[in-house]
Amino acid sequence: MSGPRIGLVCGQFDPAYDGVADYTCQLARHLRSTPFEPLICTAHAYAQSADDAVIGVTDRWSVGGVVRAAQAMAKLRLDLVHVQFAPSAFGFRRAVGLLPRFAPTGTPVLATLHEYGVWAANGVAGRLRSTAWSAVEHRGFAERETLLLSLWAARLMVTAPEHKRVLNTRLPGHALAAVHVPIGANIAVARLDREHARAAVGRRLALAADDLLAVFFGFLHPEKGLERLIEAVAQVRRVHPRLRLVLAGGIESHSVRGGTAVALRRELEDVARRHGVEEDVIFTGYLPEQEISHLLLAADTAVYPFNAGVTAKSGSLLAALAHGVPTVATSPPGVVTRPTEIEGVLRVPPRDTIALTQAMRLVLSDGALADRLARNGRACAEGRTWPDIAATHARIYAEVLEGDNRRVR
């Protein structure tokens, strides 16, 4: 390639264990069809692959490590640096927010906020820190989660509209006009019809021909409400006794590691045992992309019961919609009080096992509802394709490189 070089900065580039890394991988793949040349800049430990477009630039993401990363990226002669910001992607360190200060002179730094607005102040000391940060933010000196990144970025992108609201509250009069760039599904739809997908999944998981299949796909995590999902499945089985639940995804991620991951798996198995469905809850662990696609094509419903609600920045949710699976998902708190159709998803209030059970019963019993959710969900996902996302990035990169990196107050 001979086009402008874009350094996509992802601290821990490990797509099998981290959603932001997977996003970065997808973005880089599709940017190669544009005039730009993407290089993934990560920690040395994650650059031990045959892909010469994945380059280690530092050993760690401390302040010193960020300085070393900036020096390494200067040698790559990048035309633009684009930070994929999420605490988990940088080992829960904020120092990457200082990168605009140390980046080579004349090299614009952009940022996408994947996880934002999660900083919590607990106790008296926490409230005092929050008050101090508010004073710093209102003066436009720095920001509590991203330090200089949100203030100094040539362009700022967000994966969820609520991030823009937090930015405007914290940085009144100082924040860039952030651009909402929706994410895409993280699993491509396999070229296989439902009948053949069902047969393939049935053989792999030893399912009976008349089993109903509920699927959760994604990293397992304590905040994803999976214990409520297992309890809801036990309740739904009173009406649909052939219902099986598949929890498809890795138990270990950058957020849940080692002994914590083992303990979570045991806890979920104990929940299934207590509710008498231990034989009907299947843990698959990490699966290749094609097997996940087959599973979604075979599913009767997909369910995402996150404690804080599921937003449109969930690649797993979008994958289910793209596959035409009738999908149940929690809304952010306070949005709905009962099962409600919203943009192709049957939304339920979070932390509400009764509503979750009701929604699953509705989807499995009402064919018209299931068909409508599948049709509307697929239409929603079709507007968020990776080629379109890459094209949006290419347009923004071109504008910045042409000098249109003005702050919009």
pLDDT (tens digit per residue) in 202-212: 999 999 999 99
For residue 328, the model assigns a pLDDT of 98
For residue 238, the model assigns a pLDDT of 97
DSSP three-state, residue 214: strand
For residue 19, the model assigns a pLDDT of 86
DSSP three-state, residue 326: coil
If one compares 251 and 325, the residue with the highest pLDDT of the two is 325
Q: Which residue has the tokens 């071109």?
A: 398
Residues 169 and 44 placed together within one structural domain of the fold = yes
Asked, for residue 320, whether it belongs to a domain, the answer is yes
**Is residue 304 very low, low, confident or very high in pLDDT (cuts 50, 70, 90)?**
very high
What are the percentages of helix, strand and coil residues in the chain, rounded to 5? 45, 15, 40
Asked, for residue 408, whether it belongs to a domain, the answer is no
Helix (H) or strand (E) holding 301: strand 301-304
**Is residue 407 very low, low, confident or very high in pLDDT (cuts 50, 70, 90)?**
very low
Residues 251 and 357 placed together within one structural domain of the fold = yes
353-391 tens-digit pLDDT: 999 999 999 999 999 999 999 999 999 998 788 999 999
Distance separating alpha carbons of residues 287 and 342, to the nearest angstrom? 29
Poorest-pLDDT segment among 27-41, 46-60, 115-129, 208-222: 115-129
The average pLDDT across 61-82 equals: 97
Helix (H) or strand (E) holding 39: strand 37-43
Residue 50 clears pLDDT 70, i.e. is over it: no
Residues 226 and 140 placed together within one structural domain of the fold = no
For residue 176, the model assigns a pLDDT of 76
The pLDDT > 90 percentage for the chain reads: 78
Tell me the β-bridge partners of 42.
56
CA nearest neighbour of 187 among 55, 60, 65, 286: 286
Distance separating alpha carbons of residues 182 and 161, to the nearest angstrom? 9
Distance separating alpha carbons of residues 50 and 255, to the nearest angstrom? 26
**Is residue 92 very low, low, confident or very high in pLDDT (cuts 50, 70, 90)?**
confident
Residues 51 and 133 placed together within one structural domain of the fold = yes
Distance separating alpha carbons of residues 194 and 115, to the nearest angstrom? 34
Question: Which amino acid, 308?
Answer: A
- Sequence-distant (6+) residues with CB within 8 A of 353 are 228, 231, 232, 235
Residues 232 and 364 placed together within one structural domain of the fold = yes
Asked, for residue 407, whether it belongs to a domain, the answer is no
**Is residue 395 very low, low, confident or very high in pLDDT (cuts 50, 70, 90)?**
very high
DSSP three-state, residue 139: coil
Residues 390 and 342 placed together within one structural domain of the fold = no
Q: Which residue has the tokens 């929050």?
A: 130
Residues 200 and 347 placed together within one structural domain of the fold = yes
For residue 257, the model assigns a pLDDT of 66
Number of independent structural domains in the chain: 2
For residue 121, the model assigns a pLDDT of 67
Q: Which domain holds residue 306?
A: 194-382
Which of 162-171, 252-261, 364-373 has the largest mean confidence?
Answer: 364-373
138-156 tens-digit pLDDT: 999 999 999 999 999 999 9
Residue 45 clears pLDDT 80, i.e. is over it: yes
Residues 167 and 156 placed together within one structural domain of the fold = yes
Q: What is the CATH number of the domain that holds 352?
A: 3.40.50.2000
Residues 136 and 159 placed together within one structural domain of the fold = yes
**Is residue 405 very low, low, confident or very high in pLDDT (cuts 50, 70, 90)?**
low
**Is residue 300 very low, low, confident or very high in pLDDT (cuts 50, 70, 90)?**
very high
For residue 49, the model assigns a pLDDT of 67
Distance separating alpha carbons of residues 5 and 11, to the nearest angstrom? 18
Q: Which residue has the tokens 């890795």?
A: 250
CA nearest neighbour of 345 among 364, 365, 331, 361: 331
Sheet with 327-330, strands from edge to edge, namely 281-285, 243-248, 212-217, 301-304, 327-330, 345-348, 340-342
Distance separating alpha carbons of residues 238 and 241, to the nearest angstrom? 6
For residue 253, the model assigns a pLDDT of 67
**Is residue 408 very low, low, confident or very high in pLDDT (cuts 50, 70, 90)?**
very low
